[in-house]
């Protein structure tokens, strides 16, 4: 397969705008501790950073089952945008506005709309073909109405250009930041595994359970931290697989963790495992690397960019492949030289990570 062309750069606008107010449209439940997500963290940290930078931020949290919300929720979104004064900047989470392009069409010429794409809507796994295509169509319409499109990584930027035909000059890459954290001490033989993410087809924890079952002859434990309410049937299937393979004593399903508990889980981990079927960026990767914890991940979407280039701080395996995932786990658990090289690379990568102020500064340049 040919290599995708280079990601669009962050382009300056034709004229510098004054630092006026910013209206930010986010899904309601952004702060729900039972449903954490990388997208919610990104939105919250950007809002806080803009305020710290001196911007006036008006947040509009819109209830609804986005991106497939009912008409009443779309009416609430319309009312929220109707309250925005003419000419103001509006940063809209793509999960919301890309599900309702007809609402954006009523306001795009009146306000300056910037659409934030975390993961292209049609790339979520577990959707039927018709649902995925409908989501792509609605997202395409919304992005062509936007004054600018902001993506969280270069892979997503390439994706919206290639999939939706968005002008690369209107696409801006603003990667997430990461908070500094204490370095986790390396321990042998590296058997404490951690996975962080929702129990959903996209995140691939069903594949991870099957892969771990093939490594049952080796010593390991896994903590899986993440919400289980997004796809209850899938979550139930993951739990059933744990029981079927007799992994219960070694595989702990924690559910969503508070920030202090999640920090403690990272501090206790030897390896982060990210078995996603698709992933636009992978904020959990940088959260692990900020602590010098290596990562075993599927080479999908934006994950290779996030993990780093030369001297990969961990292992990359093929996506959707239980055998490859089991092989990567077995290599990590049985080859000390691989663990040592990955830990050394993770310590180097740790020094290269950008903080949230850098992310906010990039977004400020897009706004101005």
- DSSP characters for 250-312? TEEEEES--HHHHHHHHHT-SEEEE--S--SS-HHHHHHHTTT--EEEE--TTHHHHH-SSS-
Same domain, 240 and 160: no
Same domain, 148 and 281: no
How far is it, in rounded angstroms, from Cα 354 to Cα 306? 11
How far is it, in rounded angstroms, from Cα 42 to Cα 44? 5
Same domain, 269 and 163: no
Residue 72 has a pLDDT of 98
Provide the CB-side half-sphere exposure for 112 (13 A, CA). 13
Same domain, 130 and 257: no
Residue 7 has a pLDDT of 36
Neighbours of 124 (CB within 10 A): 19
Same domain, 344 and 200: yes
Residue 4 has a pLDDT of 33
How far is it, in rounded angstroms, from Cα 345 to Cα 115? 35
CATH number at residue 219: 3.40.50.2000
How far is it, in rounded angstroms, from Cα 234 to Cα 277? 14
Answer yes or no: is 323 within a domain: yes
Domain that holds residue 198: 192-350
Same domain, 253 and 109: no
- Cis check: omega of the bond before 67, within 30 degrees of 0: yes
Residue 17 has a pLDDT of 53
Same domain, 335 and 361: no
Residue 18 has a pLDDT of 53
- pLDDT of the chain along its 368 residues, tens only? 333 333 333 333 334 455 789 999 999 999 999 999 999 999 999 999 999 999 999 999 999 999 999 999 999 999 999 999 999 999 999 999 999 999 999 999 899 999 999 999 999 999 999 999 999 999 999 999 999 999 999 999 999 999 999 999 999 999 999 999 999 999 999 999 999 999 999 999 999 999 999 999 999 999 999 999 989 999 999 999 999 999 999 999 999 999 999 999 999 999 999 999 999 999 999 999 999 999 999 999 999 999 987 789 999 999 999 999 999 999 999 999 999 999 999 999 999 999 999 999 999 999 98
How many domains is the chain built from? Answer: 2
Residue 230 has a pLDDT of 87
């Amino acid at each position: 397969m040919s290599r995708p062309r280079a990601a669009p750069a962050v382009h300056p606008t034709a004229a510098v705008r004054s630092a006026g107010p910013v209206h930010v449209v986010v899904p309601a439940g952004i702060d729900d501790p039972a449903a954490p997500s990388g997208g919610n963290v990104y939105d919250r940290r950007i809002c806080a950073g803009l305020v710290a930078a001196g911007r006036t931020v008006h947040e509009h949290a819109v209830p609804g089952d986005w991106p497939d919300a009912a008409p009443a929720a779309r009416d609430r979104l319309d009312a929220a945008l109707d309250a925005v004064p003419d000419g103001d900047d509006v940063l809209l989470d793509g999960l919301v506005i890309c599900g309702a392009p007809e609402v954006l069409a009523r306001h795009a010429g009146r306000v300056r709309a910037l659409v934030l794409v975390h993961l292209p809507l049609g790339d979520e796994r577990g959707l039927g073909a018709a649902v995925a295509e409908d989501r792509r169509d609605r997202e395409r319409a919304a992005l062509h109405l936007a004054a600018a499109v902001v993506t969280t990584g270069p892979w997503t930027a390439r994706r919206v250009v290639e999939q939706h035909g968005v002008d690369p000059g209107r696409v801006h890459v603003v990667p997430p930041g990461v908070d500094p954290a204490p370095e986790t001490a390396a321990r042998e033989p590296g058997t404490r595994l951690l996975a962080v993410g929702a129990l959903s087809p996209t995140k691939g924890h069903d594949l991870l359970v099957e892969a771990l079952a093939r490594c049952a002859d080796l010593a390991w434990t896994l903590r899986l931290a993440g919400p289980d309410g997004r796809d209850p049937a899938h979550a139930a299937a993951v739990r059933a697989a744990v029981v079927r393979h007799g992994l219960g004593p070694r595989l702990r399903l924690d559910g969503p963790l508070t920030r202090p508990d999640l920090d403690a889980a990272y501090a206790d981990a030897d390896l982060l495992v990210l078995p996603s079927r698709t992933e636009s960026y992978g904020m959990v990767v940088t959260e692990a690397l900020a602590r010098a914890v290596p990562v075993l991940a599927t080479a999908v979407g934006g994950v290779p960019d996030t993990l780093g280039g030369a001297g990969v701080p961990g292992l990359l395996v093929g996506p959707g492949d239980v055998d490859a995932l089991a092989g990567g786990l077995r290599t990590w658990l049985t080859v000390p030289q691989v663990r040592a090289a990955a830990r050394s690379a993770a310590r180097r990568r740790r020094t290269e990570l950008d903080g949230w102020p850098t992310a906010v500064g990039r977004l400020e340049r897009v706004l101005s």
